[in-house]
Structure 1
Amino acid sequence: MSASTDNAQKSHASFVTEQFGQQARAYLESAVHSAGEDLDIMERAVGARSEAIALDMGCGGGHVTFRLAPHVQKIVAYDLSTDMLQTVAGEAAKRGLGNVVTKNGAAETLPCPDNSFDVVATRFSAHHWRDVPAGIAQMYRAAKPGALALFADAVAHEDPLIDTWLQSIELLRDPSHVRDFKVSEWESMVTNAGFKVREIRRLRIRLEFASWIKRIRTPEVNAAAIRALQQQAPAEVAEHFAFEADGSFMLDTAVVIAEKV
């Protein structure tokens, strides 16, 4: 059986855990993930909530967890990858964050009682979920009335042309990618789940190409395909992403700030 056939037979969940489990340390140390205006916005939105219980849904390298832990009573770092969770637990211990609890599972099947959390948050995770509305519905169910909800992720452009190009290079870079949603789609999904959107902050970050593909161990043939696409991009696409000679480019992101009413 060929390697490609074997990969095709893996479930999406298995593929995600394999992809990210092997790179847990890289995501912990990633400059893109460990800092950024979106993290600053999320931290400011939470403020000082010394009695709060918080959830970091799809915690990845734990950067939301580490930012919010000093401001809340307890935070649950929840992720599909046990390797990621081990990395987060180890780093939390190094930082003296004794209020961090790790729990394993998929976003769509969050194993906790209703009305458990004062803050629910997710960052750079949802574009890997099989069913984002189901994951957001779980966050709504688990949030207490009046809870703060924070959603941060890469976002697609409303223009179908630019949207298609983003999804294409994302999938070539990481086959566990599902979809970067548009801001309008995020607003609709969050609202349909029952949250009230208070604010949406649109941001742009620069992705340095070499580290971007190294972080997820993109095969050389896929990296070459991404570069080929960039070089063939129509003017509107090239201008929007500001493609550089080495493949680096600008990515749209957004932070949705909401509450459970």
Structure 2
Amino acid sequence: MDKGFKERVKEQFSKTAERYVYDEGFARGEDLQEAALLLKPTHDDLMLDVATGGGHTALFFAPLVRSVVASDLTMQILKKAQEFISEEGGIENVTFREADAEDLPFPAGSFTLLTCRIAPHHFPDVPQALKEFFRVLRRGGRMAIIDTLLPEDPEVAALYQEMEQMRDPTHIQTFSEKRWLEMVEDAGFTNIKTKKFPKTHDFVTWAKRSGLDRQGVQKLNKFFVDAPQKFHDYFQVETFAGEVESYTDKKLLIYATRPEKK
């Protein structure tokens, strides 16, 4: 995909940076706790948080590791993340670096831990990003990726893709668990484990986070309401008087390690 797309990503997240930083849905979650259980961070670990967004994952892990580099493609969102973490106080081991997930500006073997949360669906080339994750991890390094899970039903999956692109033009693709396992294994990782989590979203907050105006929110609301019953069943869509109140998707956590030996 051309560089023009990544410039549009930067523009999109520059405009909506504050909404991502102060969104409660990103600030906490069972997925972060489970990632920590699998990664087993120690105060010897050097961690990279790819596509840090509002900095919530970096903030969560900072007290548990020696240092965190919070990286993102968009400088404006990095600045907001830095302000957010500074406001929390007491966190002095996080640095910030502008970086493309598909071309990370770090030497091979720079980190012992790597995280990437609710971001890969924006990446034009996820297999290339995974190769970079593998490269910058030391042998024995651990990785945790969390992203939205693509529904198995082809019709529901297609509707989900359409819905996400209506809401956010920088959304590219989510993947099934099977496809994630294939990509992670192809990148060279081993000891792969997965876990799924439901995530309920307040509809209006979720829709507005990507910058939709009132008309855009109404159009997306109509899409949900008019969707077939199996879409409503899968996403547990809650409506009242023709207005969508919430929906629940599934997040997939993928844990893997870089082998100790070649």
Which residue, out of 156, 160, 164, partners 2:154? 160
CA separation of 1:183 and 1:82: change in aligned 2, threshold 3 A: same
| Structure 1 unaligned blocks of 5 or more | 1-8
Distance 1:199 1:214 in 2: 33
Distance 2:41 2:5 in 1: 38
Q: Does 1:133 align with 2:131?
A: no
- Partners of 2:101 and 2:132 within 8 A in 1: yes
- Partners of 2:47 and 2:68 within 8 A in 1: yes
1:12-54 Cα offsets, whole Å, 9 max, x none, are: 1111111111222211111111111111112223334111110
CA separation of 1:161 and 1:60: change in aligned 2, threshold 3 A: same
Matches within 5 A, 1:94-243: 94=87, 95-243=89-237
Greater mean alpha carbon deviation, residues 154-163 or residues 229-238: 229-238
SS at match of 1:177: coil
SS at match of 2:69: strand
Distance 2:41 2:116 in 1: 19
What residue number does 2:40 align with? 47
Q: Does 1:89 align with 2:60?
A: no
SS at match of 2:91: coil
> Structure 2: which amino acid aligns with 1:212?
W
Distance 2:162 2:109 in 1: 38
1:65-120 Cα offsets, whole Å, 9 max, x none, are: 00111111111101011011111222232322111111102111101111111001
TM-score, normalised relative to structure 2:
0.92
Counting matched residue pairs gives: 253
Q: Quote the offset at 1:197 in angstroms.
A: 4.0
SS at match of 1:228: helix
TM-score, normalised relative to structure 1:
0.92
What residue number does 2:247 align with? 249
Greater mean alpha carbon deviation, residues 70-79 or residues 243-252: 243-252
Identical-pair percentage:
28
Distance 1:16 1:41 in 2: 29
Q: Quote the offset at 1:225 in angstroms.
A: 2.7
Distance 2:226 2:210 in 1: 24
SS at match of 2:43: strand
SS at match of 1:42: helix
Distance 1:43 1:200 in 2: 13
Distance 2:135 2:3 in 1: 30
Q: Quote the offset at 1:238 in angstroms.
A: 1.5
Q: Quote the offset at 1:10 in angstroms.
A: 8.4
